[in-house]
Structure 1
Amino acid sequence: MKPRLLLVEDDPISHAFMLAALQALPAQVDSADSVADALRREDQHDLWLIDANLPDGSGAQLLDGLRRLHARTVALAHTADPSSERRESLLAAGFATVLVKPLSAADLQAAVRRHLPAGASTTHDWDESAALKALNGNREHVATLRRLFLDELPASVGAVEQSFRDGNQEALRAVLHKLRASCGFVGASRLATAAQRLHHAPGSLEALMDFRAAAESLRD
Structure 2
Amino acid sequence: MEPRDPAPLPPVPRILLVEDDTISQAYFRAVLEALPAAVDTVATQACALARAESSRHDLWLIDLTLPDGSGIDLLRRLRARWPQSPPALAHTADADPAVRAPALHAGFREVLVKPLATAELAGAVRSALAEAGGLPDWDNAAAAVALNHDPANIQALRRLFLEELPGARDEVLRSARRGDAGALRARLHRLQAGCGLVGARRLGAAVELLRRTPESRTALERFDHAARDLLG
TM-score (structure 1 length as normaliser): 0.70
Corresponding residue for residue 227 of structure 2: 218
Alignment of 1:101-116 (within 5 A): 101-116=114-129
**Contact 1:75/1:96 (<8 A) preserved:** yes
**Contact 2:196/2:204 (<8 A) preserved:** no
CA distance in 2, matches of 1:179, 1:18: 27
Residues 151, 61 of structure 1: CA spacing in aligned structure 2 closer, same or farther, 3 A cutoff? same
Residues 77, 122 of structure 1: CA spacing in aligned structure 2 closer, same or farther, 3 A cutoff? farther
CA distance in 1, matches of 2:196, 2:101: 41
Q: How far apart are residue 78 of structure 1 and its match?
A: 0.5
Question: Unmatched 5+ residue regions in structure 1?
Answer: 166-171, 199-205
| Amino-acid identity (%) | 40
| 13, 18, 21: which one aligns with 1:3 | 13
Corresponding residue for residue 8 of structure 2: none
Q: How far apart are residue 189 of structure 1 and its match?
A: 3.5
CA distance in 1, matches of 2:196, 2:63: 38
Q: How many residues align?
A: 199
Corresponding residue for residue 133 of structure 1: 152
**Contact 2:137/2:202 (<8 A) preserved:** no
Alignment of 1:60-75 (within 5 A): 60-73=72-85, 74-75=87-88
CA distance in 2, matches of 1:75, 1:33: 16
Question: Unmatched 5+ residue regions in structure 2?
Answer: 1-10
Could you report, residue by residue, the CA deviation over 1:28-78 in whole angstroms, capped at 9, with x for unpaired residues? 111111112212221221111000001111001111221122122221111
**Contact 2:92/2:111 (<8 A) preserved:** yes
| 18, 36, 50: which one aligns with 1:40 | 50
Residues 147, 6 of structure 1: CA spacing in aligned structure 2 closer, same or farther, 3 A cutoff? same
Residues 136, 36 of structure 1: CA spacing in aligned structure 2 closer, same or farther, 3 A cutoff? closer
CA distance in 1, matches of 2:73, 2:192: 44
Could you report, residue by residue, the CA deviation over 1:112-133 in whole angstroms, capped at 9, with x for unpaired residues? 1222222x21663799986973
Corresponding letter in the other structure for 2:114 = K
| 31, 49, 57: which one aligns with 1:21 | 31
Secondary structure in 2 aligned to 1:147? helix
Residues 13, 193 of structure 1: CA spacing in aligned structure 2 closer, same or farther, 3 A cutoff? same
TM-score (structure 2 length as normaliser): 0.67
Higher alpha-carbon deviation: 22-31 or 33-42:
33-42
Corresponding letter in the other structure for 1:150 = P
